[in-house]
Amino acid sequence: MTKKLGKGLEALIKTHDLNDQKRFLDGQVPLNKIQPNKSQPRRRFNDSEMQELIDSIKEKGVLQPITVRELNSGMYTIIAGERRYRASKKLGLKWIPAYTVKINNESEMMEYALIENIQRVNLNPIEEAEGYAILKGKHNLSQQDIARKVSKSRSEITNKLRLLKLPPIIKDSLRDNLISYGHARALLSIKKSIVMMRLYYKIINQNLSVRDTEKLIKLIIQKENHSDNNKKSNKIQILENKLQAKIDTDVSISLNKNNSGNIKIAFSSYKKLNKIIKILTDE
């Protein structure tokens, strides 16, 4: 029985280890030798959640080691666990349990920070998207490279990066969990920003579900398409009237979706046909 418990504990520790060759438990690291990570994906720390963590650490201690990178100066940079680090500092602790990761560059450190946070579901979609954007823009990784490194599909990386195109107020709402990732993805299907913002406020004020939002968006898009078709019809009618006035006969213009089409010109006799041709050829 004791052996089984021992193996279970060993297995549990190993599941936390991303790479046995690169990461090891360093025991207790002095808090005064740890500095925050400038590339930390998480940007906001909820005050009430932080207080809950502080209370938990005060009562039971830091149960889950943070992950750090050792610098040449003897200092450490946080890769994952900044909330635990901040809570421990607030409590005046001197030491904190930490895993040390051996990595060589800033790009790899950003990857580890993202992976650690994603695996613990600690990042909201905007923070995740911003992390991917840094890997893509600053460290020149392709979306396929990012997908492989964080074990996600390429389409998921693409969808997350698209969130950064949302208006600032909507991004902030997603960051603050006022709307969900599903709401944000649905809003991205709306082309006009003024229509998008109108619907966003409706989601907030009426507490719309993602499904209700998607239904509304479907109606909006259908209405816009109908309006576009009406505009095209009005333009075609103007052109038909213009041509009819010039050649003095009925004209019908048919337009396809790709703006190709045909013109039908009515004539009552061979003499009338000749007259139309002379007008059109300016003879």
Q: 168 vs 10, which has greater pLDDT?
A: 168
Q: How far apart are CA 98 and CA 119, in angstroms?
A: 17
Domains of the chain: which residue ranges? 18-104
For 180-197, what is the mean pLDDT? 92
Please report the pLDDT score of residue 8 as a whole number. 31
Strands 76-80 and 66-70: antiparallel
- Comparing 31-40, 42-51, 204-213, the range with the smallest average pLDDT is 42-51
Confidence of residue 41 (pLDDT cuts 50, 70, 90): low
Residue 150, pLDDT > 50, answer yes
Token pair 């207790």 is at which residue? 28
Q: How far apart are CA 140 and CA 158, in angstroms?
A: 15
Tell me which H or E stretch contains 171.
helix 168-175
pLDDT tens digits for range 212-249:
999 999 988 887 776 666 665 777 778 877 888 788 88
Token pair 């038909």 is at which residue? 240
Q: How far apart are CA 18 and CA 151, in angstroms?
A: 12
Percent of the chain with pLDDT over 70: 81
Q: How far apart are CA 38 and CA 211, in angstroms?
A: 38
Compute the residue count for the chain: 283
Whole-structure pTM over 0.75, yes or no? no
DSSP 26-40: EEEEEGGGEE--TT-
Residue 14, pLDDT > 80, answer no
The SS3 call for residue 66 is strand
pLDDT tens digits for range 95-129:
999 888 877 677 777 777 777 666 555 678 998 89
Q: Mind telling me the catalytic residues? A: 82
Residue 7, pLDDT > 60, answer no
For 8-28, what is the mean pLDDT? 41
Helices 270-281 and 210-247: angle between axes, nearest 10 degrees: 100
The SS3 call for residue 182 is helix
Classify residue 192 by burial, with Cβ atoms within 10 Å: 0-12, 13-18, 19+.
Answer: exposed
Buried b vs exposed e over 205-220: b needs ≥16 C-beta within 10 Å?
eeebebeebeebbeeb
End-to-end CA distance of the chain: 106
Q: How far apart are CA 251 and CA 240, in angstroms?
A: 6
Confidence of residue 16 (pLDDT cuts 50, 70, 90): very low
CATH of domain 18-104: 3.90.1530.10
Token representation of residue 131: 């992390």
Q: How far apart are CA 134 and CA 16, in angstroms?
A: 25
In this structure, the number of other CB atoms found within 10 A of the CB of residue 109 comes to: 19
